[in-house]
Structure 1
Amino acid sequence: MATIGLDQLFYAPITEAATTGEETYGTPVKLAKAISAELSVELAEATLFADDGASEIVKEFKNGKLTLGVDDIGRSVAAVLVGATVDDNGVLISTTEDGGTLVAIGFRARKSNGKYKYLWLYRVKFAVPSTSLATKGDDITFSTPTIEGTVMRRNKLDGQGKHPWKAEVDENDTGVDAATISGWYASVYEPEFTEA
Structure 2
Amino acid sequence: MYARYSTLDFDAAKRDDVVGYFASEGTSGPSGRPGWRGSVVLESETPGRLRAVTFWDTAEHFTTFHSGQAHAGINTSFAELGVRVTEREAAHTVTPPVITGGHVRAVTVRIPAERKESVETFWRERGRPLILSQPGAVRAEAFWTGDEFTLHMEWADESDALVFVASRDHVEFAEGMGTVPGDIVSRRGMNRIRA
Using the size of structure 2 for normalisation, the TM-score is 0.24
Using the size of structure 1 for normalisation, the TM-score is 0.24
- More strand by proportion, 1 or 2? 1
Higher relative contact order (CA 8 A, sep 6+): 2
- More helix by proportion, 1 or 2? 2
